[in-house]
Structure 1
Amino acid sequence: MFSCFRRVVAAGLVASTTLAVAPAYAQKSKKKAVLPRKTIEQRVDSVLALMTLDEKVGQLNQYTGDAATGPAFNDPNKVEQLRTGRIGSMLNVKGAQRTRELQAEALKSRLKIPLLFGLDVVHGYQTTFPIPLGEAASWDLEAMRQSAHVAATEAAAAGQHWTFAPMVDIARDPRWGRVMEGAGEDPYLGSEIAKARVLGFQGEKLGATDAVMACAKHFAAYGAAQAGRDYNTVDISRRALWETYLPPFKAALDAGAATFMNSFNELDGIPATGNAYLQRDILKGRWNFPGIVVSDWGSIGEMVAHGYAKDGADAALKAITAGSDIDMESRAYSSHLDQLVQSGQVKQTLVDDAVRRVLRKKFELGLFDNPYKFSDVKREKAALNNPQHRQIARDVARKSIVLLKNEGNVLPLAKSAKNIALIGPLGKSKLDMAGFWSVNYDSTTYVSVYEGLQNKLGKQATIRYAKGCGIKGESQAGFAEAVQAAKAADVVVMAVGEAYNMSGEAKSRADINLPGQQEELMEAVLATGKPVVVLMMAGRPLTFAYTAEHAPAILYTWWLGTEAGNAIADVLVGDYNPAGKLPMTFPRSVGQVPLYYAAKSTGRPSQNDKDTNYRSAYIDQVNSPQYAFGHGLSYTQFEYSNLKLSKNEVGDGETFTASFTLTNKGKVAGEEVAQLYLHDLFASATRPVKELKGFQKVMLKPGESRTITFTIDKDKLSFYNNDLQWITEPGEFNLMIGSASDAIRLEQKFTLVK
């Protein structure tokens, strides 16, 4: 109890009055004094009152530790700065032993305030899960919560207090490499996934040793970068900001996200790091966010390059004024903030508010009571070697696979298959299964597709492997070997796609075609006439027009992590029936980008792909995507029927239901993701032609039927008017239920009345 004050007293500083008089009271009463435990806010106030300005600035200073995820400063004096209280948090320090060592240095400081350790634990720590966009394709919120929980368990055991995840940016341009880190194009799906991931990382309460602080990033609209080029300018309307890009952040906040990270981009002419509208007015004002706002790597200093700040001092002034609490790796606060306060340019209250937010989280995590509680070598060893974590990773990986096409029921493969040709540059790859933003890049821990098939089929099958070509490059030297392997096989499995480092931060691509000679290899193998199953591995939607048209079966497998090969083999032979659905629209060509399902109608809408005369259409390509948002097939077939609305006329504020019958018409059990879309037909501001407003993932046995019910409340019928007020308007709506945004099976109109 009062451990922070014990350290203060031990250091020879001022003791509190309560602690000073307690012994006298105990002697007079001859009983041990029982002091009421102070609240966290009281303890924060007590520590803050003892701090010098330099020590306060130190709490807002974050340095990288042993590795860099950006252009790091070369600073040989980090340990000395730890000992003098000039660093409040560090990132990229891994391992229970190493974090313990650095924490010990921080505790040599005058006030012995413990450090926070943060890391980009994006899709796993030791156990790597599918990339977040791949997980989003599962549309399985519990699976994503569990994935984040396993990641948090391992990271916390290895000394981490904080992950810089989840990324909740809505992204509608697959040229942007960081689409792999998010949940796709839709604000409703993105919001549900944001909640699941925050709850998975943080658990029931901060401070548990199987949980870490989550960080909703990047605030805000980072995913709307012009031309899909990372770090680029964002120029969107306030309506688009509120309707499309902010909802997942609000969902993360409502789920209890402890921290937010601001973004590299500018918005409305002001860099997000110095944007008071985003950080003061919305986040800390309207939403009353009590947690920490951390800058992205160096983004405070980068306001100079934006042309918004004159120099480092001006950048620090604008960032702290706008509400950015922690400076990650720009050194603007450590170099200038004390002088800005002393000169009166920055109010002391702004610094105190930021420091309070940092101290509050350190208390909530329990670090003042036990600075080493997350640095337990024994617990780290147990957590990182828990075999159950790999089982969970395998299950999540299977759920993330999307069956795009299955003509002639090529899939599932017969378990009795004797001769299989595995062709393509990713067939034996292990490292690429990790995907970008992985913590664990030890390739020996990953299962390749080749190994997964061997594990599944054993000695009963012959698996001939031919690389065929590289992921990049122009060489076709391996084509002949690949064609021979295909001719000798009963069925061909083609493993193609991107390398792990072709999608991710700073990995924007102007050409999102299947890279290198892989589609030419596809053409050569398909010419053999053998049945071909394509495994498309990537961190983003790719364009692959020839393959999409000619290959009979296509599985989109993203980068699936540690258990990739085993999960893929489960799906290939039908031990798992794929149920994934696309969280992003797949264009036919890059010229269609940006392309997303929730588009506006325009005054001259094209009614079909042949309607191009003076319509909003291309003259050289159809408007429709290669694969629509929500698309995903199964080894069984589902029938939608018997739609019933509880009300056809709904009063403002009333709730009603839409029910229908879902039937598995096939011969195997399977899951279907039934999707609810709404369209407000006439409004004071034009509305998208479809908006996802609900989904349910349902398992059905062969021949089984079930009544599925969606509840529609006022919130699902509301939108932002021209004054950015969240309102409903009377009028007619179209309710649509289907298996994808372009596969509506049932629809009915209803009317909202005032």
Structure 2
Amino acid sequence: MKRNQSNRLIRHLPLALLLAGMACNSTQPGSGSEAVTTAKVSYRDLNKNGRMDPYEDRSQPIEARVNDLLSQMTLQEKAGMMFIYGTFINDDGTIVKKPDTKGMAARLPTAGESITGKYMNHFNFWEAPDTRALAMGYNAIQQEAENTRLGIPVTIASDPRNHFSESIFSMAASGFSQWCEPLGLAAIGDEELTRQFADIARQEYIAVGLREALHPQVDLATEPRWARIGGTFGEDAQLSARMAKAYILGFQAEELGPNSVACMTKHFSGGGPQKEGLDPHFEFQKGQVYPGNNFDYHLIPFEAAFEANTAAIMPYYGVPVDQTDENVAFAYNKAIITGLLRDKYKYDGVVCTDWGLITDVNMGTTIWPARAWGVEHLSEEDRVKKIVDAGVDQFGGESVPELVVKLVQDGKLTEARIDESVRRLLRQKFQLGLFDNPYVDVENAVKVLSNPAFKAAGEASQRRAMTLLKNDTQVLPLQQGRLKLYVKNVDPKVAAQYGTVVDNPKEADMAIIRLKAPWYPVETKNPFAKSFHHGDLDFKGKEKEEILQLLKTVPTVVDIYLDRPAVIPEISQNAKALLADFGASDTAVMDVIFGVAKPEGNLPFELPSSMEAVRNQKEDVPYDSKDPLYKFGYGLRYQ
């Protein structure tokens, strides 16, 4: 096909002009502007050959487009697609390294380096700038991808960004609406609200170019010491299943399309039952255990995710001890990935490992070993082979596509097997509409992420999720403006809006204290491991004495943030009122205490009565500790 002069000019328009044209046409990815216009049809000439290939033709069925592009890809391009790695965007929206680049960005390659040097087109962010810079940087990354031989667009993935959170796995909000954590959604138990949350988060994600959610986390919190409970929906399989399905439908809709965010549901087949709660991110973990023979219980939320057509699945790091024919981690385990996930559940979506299963990480003072549990003896190359042979499509947090290339060239993997995985990954990109328009409208992004209705909905969820556990003599709600208040771990400026703040608890009518569920770092040289909330669930020593002293000095309302269960029998006994929150601002907490809003939550897990009871319960069984202080589902209401 011979192009005219205007077509050649359109194909080479500068990015700024191209984006301006897209802004006039649409603000939604997938509906955008094409680089070439003929008398009959418009298209993006991604491979720059002057004609419309089937993969560039949006009128073609997706499978035809996948087949055409796959036939044009080199082995190196296919291998690059099988890896997802971190990247960064600077505060000014650029994506290049600068002399003053610091933090994680300084340790990461630029997106351009990974795209051109490694043929990669899947990335995730940890740190992110403000909305405008984030959208600008995303467009710059897509421009880098468009300039490659085949113009394959980039998919950007992210951990949760919409929670008022203490979790290291929930990214800084950076302009996104701030909701309660998933535990809070489970505490509210309203499927319509969970779907509304996901739909709003979807709109915010799409506005800035985030097209894959590395969530929901549907593991069951049956081991109360586990450090990652905060990202779950609690310990009940049926409640988690209801929340998971609503969540995925909110992000993806009934069918994955140009207005969807693809969900990567994790961590198959359920990461909750860790021995002693020690997380398998780290070598001190002791395996995933099933003393209650309750393996199948942990599959129930994933079955709901399959019903909702989750676009991707992530297995966890742990070893399901004595559950299969070999004690190796889930992503290496063919019985889990092929036998259970692919064959039993007929799952044909993308399967991506959790981050860092192949290569060790030099952390300066220590080496963080690859999470190759059970196969530590294998070389990096053989680890890749075993994961692919198990049935996995993509490697999270890794950037070694050359190992896949070598395995094929050496005859240890077939290119046909690589094609299976690349086909799934390409299909998802086409379904999301990325080939037709991967760019975002920067001004629209700013508008969407400043939507006051979205902000208000998130803030309301923080209040609704609060769970009233004790209310002696119906002391709550307090009367606003009439009391002298002593506050601890509450912003005095916020508290002053509700009463007169005093510095001495003995002068107060009422004290209000905010606590966080206790945790105790594992002894390790790994600084990342030290930030995980491991260890016992009870307050100890001086900290406990100071809390109880306050409770005995003045009538006290206690609010405790629960990112996992806490053992607090003495605090409960001595508090005048006790509330649990699952991610809430000081204002949200004070609004509930003073009756501006009402607590609507019910506990998504039980609160054990002692550490002895915790140690005696079974890691894989829900709500099974002896004589719990507060049972699963408990929650009072105001009269």
TM-score normalised by the shorter chain: which range applies?
Answer: 0.7 to 0.9
Structure 1 residues 304 and 199: alpha-carbon distance in aligned structure 2, compared to 1, 3 A threshold: closer
8 Å CA contact 2:55–2:66 kept in 1: the answer is no
1:11 is aligned with what amino acid? K
1:258-287 CA-to-partner distances (Å, cap 9, x unmatched) read 111111111241211111222212222222
How far is the alpha carbon of 1:303 from its aligned partner? 5.3
Structure 1 residues 319 and 349: alpha-carbon distance in aligned structure 2, compared to 1, 3 A threshold: same
Say which structure, 1 or 2, has more relative contact order (CA 8 Å, 6+ apart).
2
Q: 1:221 aligns with which of 270, 275, 295?
A: 270
Structure 1 residues 526 and 238: alpha-carbon distance in aligned structure 2, compared to 1, 3 A threshold: closer
8 Å CA contact 1:172–1:224 kept in 2: the answer is yes
Secondary structure of the residue that 1:527 maps to in structure 2?
A: helix
- State the distance in 1 between where 2:139 and 2:46 align: 23
Q: Which residue of the partner structure matches residue 250 of structure 2?
A: 200
How far is the alpha carbon of 1:352 from its aligned partner? 0.7
Q: Which residue of the partner structure matches residue 586 of structure 2?
A: 565
- State the distance in 2 between where 1:74 and 1:18 align: 35
Q: Are 1:112 and 2:115 matched, yes or no? A: no
Q: 1:427 aligns with which of 476, 482, 490?
A: 490
How far is the alpha carbon of 1:381 from its aligned partner? 0.4
- State the distance in 1 between where 2:233 and 2:104 align: 27
Structure 1 residues 559 and 80: alpha-carbon distance in aligned structure 2, compared to 1, 3 A threshold: closer
How far is the alpha carbon of 1:326 from its aligned partner? 1.1
Secondary structure of the residue that 1:324 maps to in structure 2?
A: coil
Secondary structure of the residue that 1:408 maps to in structure 2?
A: helix
8 Å CA contact 1:585–1:596 kept in 2: the answer is no
1:55-96 CA-to-partner distances (Å, cap 9, x unmatched) read 11111121100289x999946475244135610200007411
Q: TM-score, normalised by structure 1?
A: 0.67
- State the distance in 1 between where 2:612 and 2:295 align: 24
- State the distance in 1 between where 2:231 and 2:55 align: 50
Matches within 5 A, 1:168-183: 168-183=218-233
Q: Are 1:255 and 2:308 matched, yes or no? A: yes
How far is the alpha carbon of 1:229 from its aligned partner? 0.5
2:261 is aligned with what amino acid? V
How far is the alpha carbon of 1:305 from its aligned partner? 5.4
8 Å CA contact 2:122–2:155 kept in 1: the answer is yes
Structure 1 residues 114 and 238: alpha-carbon distance in aligned structure 2, compared to 1, 3 A threshold: farther
Structure 1 residues 630 and 120: alpha-carbon distance in aligned structure 2, compared to 1, 3 A threshold: same
Secondary structure of the residue that 1:129 maps to in structure 2?
A: coil
8 Å CA contact 1:122–1:164 kept in 2: the answer is no
Q: Which residue of the partner structure matches residue 442 of structure 2?
A: 377
Q: Which residue of the partner structure matches residue 343 of structure 1?
A: 410
8 Å CA contact 1:85–1:113 kept in 2: the answer is no
Secondary structure of the residue that 1:353 maps to in structure 2?
A: helix
Q: Which residue of the partner structure matches residue 446 of structure 1?
A: none
- State the distance in 2 between where 1:369 and 1:171 align: 41
Q: Are 1:145 and 2:195 matched, yes or no? A: yes
Q: Which residue of the partner structure matches residue 521 of structure 1?
A: 546
Q: Which residue of the partner structure matches residue 83 of structure 1?
A: 116
**What 5-or-longer segments of structure 2 have no aligned partner?**
1-30, 37-41, 90-100, 129-133, 164-172, 360-369, 523-527
Q: Are 1:55 and 2:77 matched, yes or no? A: yes
Matches within 5 A, 1:668-683: none
How far is the alpha carbon of 1:237 from its aligned partner? 7.3
Structure 1 residues 150 and 17: alpha-carbon distance in aligned structure 2, compared to 1, 3 A threshold: closer
8 Å CA contact 1:500–1:538 kept in 2: the answer is no
Q: Which residue of the partner structure matches residue 11 of structure 1?
A: 48
Structure 1 residues 600 and 151: alpha-carbon distance in aligned structure 2, compared to 1, 3 A threshold: closer
Q: Are 1:463 and 2:516 matched, yes or no? A: no
CA RMSD of aligned residues (A): 3.3
Q: 1:541 aligns with which of 561, 565, 587?
A: 565
Q: Which residue of the partner structure matches residue 92 of structure 2?
A: none
What is the percentage of aligned positions where both structures have the same residue? 29
Q: Which residue of the partner structure matches residue 670 of structure 1?
A: none
2:421 is aligned with what amino acid? A
Q: Are 1:581 and 2:602 matched, yes or no? A: yes
How far is the alpha carbon of 1:601 from its aligned partner? 13
Structure 1 residues 148 and 518: alpha-carbon distance in aligned structure 2, compared to 1, 3 A threshold: farther
Range 48-57 or range 284-293, more displaced = 284-293
Matched residue count: 546
8 Å CA contact 2:606–2:630 kept in 1: the answer is yes
Structure 1 residues 548 and 573: alpha-carbon distance in aligned structure 2, compared to 1, 3 A threshold: same
Secondary structure of the residue that 1:48 maps to in structure 2?
A: helix
Q: 1:92 aligns with which of 112, 115, 125?
A: 125
Structure 1 residues 507 and 9: alpha-carbon distance in aligned structure 2, compared to 1, 3 A threshold: closer
1:19-50 CA-to-partner distances (Å, cap 9, x unmatched) read 9xxxxxxxxxxxxxxx9921111111111011
- State the distance in 2 between where 1:18 and 1:584 align: 49
Q: 1:320 aligns with which of 379, 388, 412?
A: 388
- State the distance in 2 between where 1:238 and 1:542 align: 23
8 Å CA contact 1:3–1:368 kept in 2: the answer is no
Q: Are 1:550 and 2:574 matched, yes or no? A: yes
Structure 1 residues 144 and 324: alpha-carbon distance in aligned structure 2, compared to 1, 3 A threshold: same
Q: Which residue of the partner structure matches residue 477 of structure 1?
A: none
Q: Which residue of the partner structure matches residue 44 of structure 1?
A: 66
- State the distance in 2 between where 1:291 and 1:82 align: 24
How far is the alpha carbon of 1:361 from its aligned partner? 0.8
How far is the alpha carbon of 1:226 from its aligned partner? 0.9
Q: Which residue of the partner structure matches residue 624 of structure 1?
A: 627
1:572 is aligned with what amino acid? I
2:49 is aligned with what amino acid? G
- State the distance in 2 between where 1:314 and 1:257 align: 29
- State the distance in 1 between where 2:154 and 2:212 align: 11
- State the distance in 2 between where 1:309 and 1:319 align: 14
1:360-394 CA-to-partner distances (Å, cap 9, x unmatched) read 1110111111121xx22111101111111221012
2:570 is aligned with what amino acid? Y
Matches within 5 A, 1:236-385: 236=290, 240-242=294-296, 244-267=297-320, 268=322, 269-301=327-359, 302=370, 304=372, 306-307=374-375, 310-332=378-400, 334-372=401-439, 375-385=440-450
Bigger radius of gyration among the two: 1
Structure 1 residues 511 and 239: alpha-carbon distance in aligned structure 2, compared to 1, 3 A threshold: closer
1:587-646 CA-to-partner distances (Å, cap 9, x unmatched) read 1222212648996999xxxxxxxxxxxxxxxxxxx930111111111113xxxxxxxxxx
2:480 is aligned with what amino acid? K
Secondary structure of the residue that 1:337 maps to in structure 2?
A: helix
- State the distance in 1 between where 2:448 and 2:137 align: 17
Secondary structure of the residue that 2:157 maps to in structure 1?
A: strand
8 Å CA contact 2:272–2:620 kept in 1: the answer is no
8 Å CA contact 2:623–2:631 kept in 1: the answer is no
Secondary structure of the residue that 1:57 maps to in structure 2?
A: helix
2:59 is aligned with what amino acid? R
1:357 is aligned with what amino acid? R
Secondary structure of the residue that 2:262 maps to in structure 1?
A: coil
Secondary structure of the residue that 2:294 maps to in structure 1?
A: helix
- State the distance in 2 between where 1:557 and 1:156 align: 29
How far is the alpha carbon of 1:134 from its aligned partner? 2.5
Q: Which residue of the partner structure matches residue 675 of structure 1?
A: none
How far is the alpha carbon of 1:118 from its aligned partner? 0.5
- State the distance in 1 between where 2:636 and 2:46 align: 66
**What 5-or-longer segments of structure 1 have no aligned partner?**
20-34, 429-449, 467-484, 603-621, 637-754
Q: Are 1:509 and 2:534 matched, yes or no? A: yes
2:197 is aligned with what amino acid? S
1:513 is aligned with what amino acid? D
2:315 is aligned with what amino acid? N
Structure 1 residues 531 and 185: alpha-carbon distance in aligned structure 2, compared to 1, 3 A threshold: same
8 Å CA contact 2:292–2:620 kept in 1: the answer is no
